[in-house]
Amino acid sequence: MKKILLLLFLSFNLCLSQTVVQNLDLVNAALELTKQQVTYDPSYFSIDYPNGDVPSDKGVCTDVVIRAYRKTGVDLQKLVHEDMKANFTNYPKIWGLTSTDKNIDHRRVPNLMTFFKHKGAEKPITDNPEDYLPGDVVCWNLGGAVTHIGIVVNKKSNNGNRNLIVHNIGSGQVLEDMLFDFKIIGHYRYSTIH
């Protein structure tokens, strides 16, 4: 019995340490993106599939998340497309779609929110900055139907009480202290290691 408990404990710790490493990889990938000059451009692009991307000097908030995950070996374009094909009725119908579109579906915040929720990555939304860990993905409502998404990183605000966010809200891929600037509508901790 002690051996079984020890094996379970070791397996849990191995899984936990792999998740921490992946989250650190995601954080480092997001921080690396802030060094890249990107113009905010919400245009529709026809892109390769899988592993397609809009031109590297263009992008929106979702592209930060997509590019950071891709640097860790996770292709959200493919994963979201496959999940949408299997669960199309569960995805938002905001854009009047009647089928999936591998060029744009993964670049829409509500679709990423639905995908992360389907994958069991949803975390509570709180007012406590300590609940938002490096590698977490956060979504906001900027007002009306305008949504936004970014990645929590391991850099701290000037007063040191909350982690900063890598996002693109119009000025390129930047690092900012903006976690509570807008209403949080989604909080996710997505790992491909389960």
Per residue in 138-153, pLDDT (tens digit) is 999 999 999 999 999 9
Strand order, beta sheet including 146-156: 174-176, 163-167, 146-156, 137-143, 183-188
Band of residue 14 on the pLDDT scale cut at 50, 70, 90: very low
Neighbour tally for 7: CB within 10 Å: 10
The maximal CA–CA distance of the chain, rounded, in angstroms, is 59
Instruction: Report CA-CA distances (Å) from 72 to 75, 79, 140.
Output: 9, 14, 24
Rounded to an integer, the average pLDDT of 148-164 is 95
Band of residue 95 on the pLDDT scale cut at 50, 70, 90: confident
As a whole number of angstroms, the distance between CA 91 and CA 81 comes to 11
Q: Which amino acid is at 61?
A: C
What global pTM score does this model have? 0.88
Rounded to an integer, the average pLDDT of 31-40 is 97
Rounded to an integer, the average pLDDT of 4-33 is 63
Band of residue 5 on the pLDDT scale cut at 50, 70, 90: very low
Rounded to an integer, the average pLDDT of 83-99 is 94
Rounded to an integer, the average pLDDT of 14-43 is 81
pLDDT at 97: 85
Band of residue 128 on the pLDDT scale cut at 50, 70, 90: very high
Rounded to an integer, the average pLDDT of 55-64 is 97
Query: Residue 30 phi/psi, 5° resolution?
Result: -65, -45
